[in-house]
């Protein structure tokens, strides 16, 4: 029996989390994942939200962990991976709490990991260029980071900032111990690739956020690109020194 957990990091998503959970439940029940050979669970990780996210989770009876302090997306996801590791899950899927991700891709993600074709599956907006493509400035930043990771590893990942991904047990173990804290998606790709992960991108259609606001402003986007770029280069240098 394959144990899969959907990890849903949330910060101030009171307006979105109900529809996110209902869409996940409805999809799983209507798909082949309802077969008895799968155990499909979900976990909301509430990152010390300032709105009514926690209240919604309690009132609806959703499965959640409530963090006492705000850890950011990296810390939030590392908590999720620790939870998955300690409870013996085989696959963890990161699914954002803002409504941009569509659960209809779960079967494909799980199938690629289950069959051994991939250790990490990343849902990419840019393979078919359909759906919400983000702003022009962010797309430039994503292209830059994608090119930098390619130069450092020889592996091309187009949508390096995608938070829609599935990871195998081996990389649940890695990320539970070591996971970048600020804007972790590109850095976790770098870490996984340098640890011999098989990474596959699959095309997905994402939706634009309808309710609430993104926590990443234009100024934060600039900081993000500079900080992550330096981190990627330094990590590559450190790994080269260790291999000598």
CATH code of the domain in which 35 resides = 3.90.550.10
Q: 117-140: per-residue pLDDT in tens?
A: 999 999 999 988 776 767 777 888
Q: Are the C-beta atoms of 27 and 40 separated by less than 8 Å? A: no
Which region, left, alpha or beta, applies to residue 12 given φ > 0 means left and ψ of -120 to 50 means alpha? left
- The model's pTM is 0.90
CA 144/CA 33 separation, integer angstroms = 37
Number of helices and strands in the chain (H, E): 8, 7
- For residue 235, the model assigns a pLDDT of 78
Of 77, 46, 64, the closest CA to residue 172 belongs to: 77
- For residue 2, the model assigns a pLDDT of 96
Q: Which residues pair with 200 in a beta bridge?
A: 121
Q: Which residues pair with 7 in a beta bridge?
A: 43, 94
- Give the chain's domain count: 1
Query: Angle CA(123)–CA(50)–CA(47) in degrees, nearest 5?
Result: 40
- Tokens 């990590």 -> residue: 235
Q: 140-153: per-residue pLDDT in tens?
A: 889 999 999 999 99
Q: What are phi and psi of 223, to 5 degrees?
A: -60, -40
Of 191, 1, 4, 33, the closest CA to residue 113 belongs to: 4
Domain that holds residue 193: 2-243
Other C-beta atoms closer than 10 Å to the C-beta of 136 total 8
Q: 48-94: per-residue pLDDT in tens?
A: 999 999 999 999 999 999 999 999 999 999 999 999 999 999 999 99
Assigned token pair, 39 = 């155990």
Q: 4-30: per-residue pLDDT in tens?
A: 999 999 999 999 999 999 999 999 999
- For residue 87, the model assigns a pLDDT of 97
% of the chain with per-residue pLDDT over 90: 73
- For residue 140, the model assigns a pLDDT of 85
- For residue 238, the model assigns a pLDDT of 79
């Amino acid at each position: 029996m394959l144990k899969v957990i959907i990890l849903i990091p949330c910060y101030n998503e009171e307006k979105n989390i109900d529809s996110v959970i209902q869409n996940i439940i409805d999809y799983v029940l209507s798909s082949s994942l309802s077969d008895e050979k799968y155990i499909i669970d979900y976990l909301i990780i509430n990152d010390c939200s300032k709105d009514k996210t926690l209240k919604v989770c309690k009132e609806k009876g959703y499965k959640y962990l409530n963090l006492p302090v705000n850890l950011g997306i990296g810390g939030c996801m590392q908590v999720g991976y620790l939870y998955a590791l300690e409870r013996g899950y085989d696959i963890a899927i990161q699914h954002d709490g803002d409504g941009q991700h569509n659960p209809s891709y779960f079967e494909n993600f799980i199938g690629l990991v289950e069959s051994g074709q991939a250790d990490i599956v990343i849902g990419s907006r840019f393979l078919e260029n359909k759906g919400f493509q983000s702003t022009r400035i962010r797309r430039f930043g994503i292209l830059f980071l994608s090119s930098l990771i390619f130069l450092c590893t020889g592996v091309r990942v187009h949508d390096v900032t995608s938070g829609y991904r599935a990871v195998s047990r081996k990389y649940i173990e890695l990320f539970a111990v070591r996971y970048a804290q600020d804007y972790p998606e590109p850095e976790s790709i770098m870490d996984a690739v340098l640890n011999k992960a098989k990474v596959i991108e699959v095309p997905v259609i994402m939706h634009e956020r309808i309710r609430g606001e993104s926590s990443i402003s234009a100024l934060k986007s600039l900081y993000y690109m500079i900080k992550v770029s330096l981190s990627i280069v330094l990590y590559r240098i450190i790994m080269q020194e260790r291999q000598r």
